A and B are shown apart, each in its own frame.
Chain A
Amino acid sequence: MLPQLLANGLCAGALYAIVALGFGIIYRSTGVFHFAHGAIYTIAAYLTYLMLVATNIWWPVAVAVALLGAAFSGVLAELLVYRPIQKRRASPLAALIGSFGIYLFAVNLIALIAGNETKVLRPGVDITFEVGSVILTRFQLLGFATFVVTLVAFFLFKKSRLGRLLTAFSDNPALVEVLGWNASVIRIAIFAAGSLLAGISAIISVMDIGMDPHVGMSALLISAVAVVVGGVKLFEGAIVGGVVLGIVQSLVVWQFSVRWMDVFTFSILVLFLVLRPQGLLGKKVRLEEV
């Protein structure tokens, strides 16, 4: 039983990590607690569904449209809500509330158009693969493979010139601007990239288990917990946090019961906030460095 639970946990954790990485990049570099990340997750899921089921289009096109849609929605949130708020030098709380507003608006709009009910892309039993005593669906495997690819791509990006720019921007946006970069363009790129990651996670999850308009909320909550667990100060924190959460959840089921899963997830959040606010990867820093 344990190998199967761990495999499920790892595959779930891989998807958590991808969506959390998107959330973490946006939070770390723009300071926005991007509640609407959940809405973008939902939008990507429904675009995939719309493309594949309603228009019956070739699947790579459907995936591309969904990813572009996610990135575009992220940019739209920045342009229509976060930028005006930032221009007025409002507190981060204003951005948070604005973000929550976007979430509610988008999710209710989707529910209005597409209905509240659960939808799956393919009814019936999907293709599965058996390795020893472990059975995984093809989309669980795909999710894990995508995670590995995302991981490699992210580390290559981080080493590149643009990656260093992102780190620099997160540490001190004003200084980056002084050096001649356009901060608003960087922010747009960050929202596009973060939303793209949410889209990737959403699409695989929809193909694997299905969706309703509210799936984005749990994805968002998991992302936020993963970022805190891994460490807010580092982009890699979200990745580590996501995988750790996935595995911890499977261990909780192994030792206790499914009904304790959420209790443990959020207890971990509280424990980290109180005992290790810098997260698993973070180092303690002096106040001046923050």
Chain B
Amino acid sequence: MKTFAMYCGSIVLLVSILLVGCSKQPDAYKIGVITPLTGSRATYGAATKQGVDLAFERINKAGGIDGKKVEAIYEDSRGEPKDAGYALQKLINVDRVPVILGAFRSAETQAIAGTAESRKVVLFSASSTADEIKYVGDYIFRNVPTNSDQGKTAAHFVLEYLQKKTAAVLYQNDDYGKSLGEAFIENFSNIGGKILAQETFEGGQKDFRHALTKIKQMRPEVVFFPGNYEECALILKQARQLGIQVPFVGGDGAYSPDLFGIAGSAANGSYYTLMAMGYGVSDEEVANFLDGFKKAYGGEPDVYAAYAYDAILVIADAIKRGGYTSDGIKDALYKLEFKGVTGITKFDSYGEVSKPYYLYEAKDGKFALVTWVPTGSVTATR
């Protein structure tokens, strides 16, 4: 009798869950957001959240989309591909969102993009730059340019702005570091630079002295070291301790205020390529954003907040044009052209954009924009 009661109970429960799950028209449009809210990359998640919240506030203040409010469902990826996978499953199966902003790191996005594609959910990254993401499928978009562009910009910067002809490359042995390192090597060699040494490091590594000793021996004029900020900061510290005083050039992965917490003064004389803001293209939008950000949070946004903010506005625009379904959003994204804080967002047939990279110099605990007008083929910087 007892088991029968339990059967009945569970069936009732199941049916009620299904009914709730099937409740028809949502009273708000929900957009999933996968970003590292905790863990070693929590500062990136915090920046993403600032940008996303600001964008939602702006959309809702203007009356939402077709009179419907929009809201975000945040899922924490902790910066780990595995956790990004759990977050994706939850957003697809429980919340049933048609569109997700995320993930943050290239490795995370690459881990979940295949699933998003096969479940026909639009996945929109505002920060993953690894080249391979381009080919995953039709439902995968991003508003950041690729690492091959980033490596190219860095190569031109070293040769044209720093005027250094020899470089050593020390890259993180993962999707991100490897593709960026290879892009740099290819472009730097093509425009007349010389690569003297190539070494790698692993995520989580703490002692880089062996590789740095080898690099020191080769006497390069510059070291290009694409990787995450934790490893890059330790590399800077140990390099300066070993007496390597040449400039270091890194990628957007090392751009984090926490870089200075580890590297301290050792970060002086290092440069980082970073996705561009829309200066010169959409100055009005940039000014609006900076103003709104200052009112909401007080202070300057970092570039990840700007890209997340822009991404949400683009997604909202696509929902408005195509409707709140994944196919509608996907088709609208391919057609739209959006002028925002990060310049013009217009997708090619791979869901990729063409935007420049800027250069920032680490100086006394801050990142300062480098004024550099490149000659030749790189489209960059104000």
Contacts and interface: CB of A to CB of B under 8 A. Distances in A.
Interface of A: 1, 4-5, 8-9, 12, 115-120, 122-126, 128, 130, 135, 137, 205, 209-212, 214-215, 249-250, 253-254, 257-259, 261
A117 B258 contact: yes
B206 A8 contact: no
Given A249-B210, A253-B210, A258-B201, A135 B262 contact: no
A1 B214 contact: yes
A257 B213 CA distance: 11
A9 B266 CA distance: 23
A123 B263 contact: yes
B209 interface: yes
A215 B40 contact: no
B262 A123 contact: yes
21 contacts: A8-B209, A115-B42, A116-B38, A118-B40, A118-B233, A120-B237, A120-B262, A124-B266, A125-B240, A125-B241, A125-B266, A126-B241, A128-B242, A135-B241, A212-B230, A215-B206, A253-B210, A253-B211, A257-B214, A258-B199, A258-B200
Contacts, number: 106
A257 B217 CA distance: 13
* Closest CB pairs A-B (n = 3): A124-B264, A123-B264, A117-B40
Interface residues of B, number: 39
Contacts of B79: 116
Contact of B204 (A115, A214, A258): A214
B56 to A, nearest CB: 28
Interface of B: 38-42, 78-79, 173, 199-201, 204, 206-207, 209-211, 213-214, 216-217, 230-231, 233-234, 237-238, 240-243, 258, 260-266
Contacts of A120: 234, 237, 261-262
Nearest to B80: A116
**SS class of chain B's interface: helix, strand, loop or mixed?**
helix
Contacts of B201: 258
Nearest to A211: B206
B209 A116 contact: no
Given A116-B78, A135-B243, A258-B201, 18 more contacts: A5-B210, A5-B214, A8-B209, A8-B210, A118-B262, A120-B237, A120-B261, A123-B261, A123-B264, A125-B237, A125-B266, A209-B206, A211-B206, A212-B230, A215-B206, A253-B210, A254-B214, A257-B214
A253 B214 contact: yes
B210 A124 contact: no
A118 B228 CA distance: 11
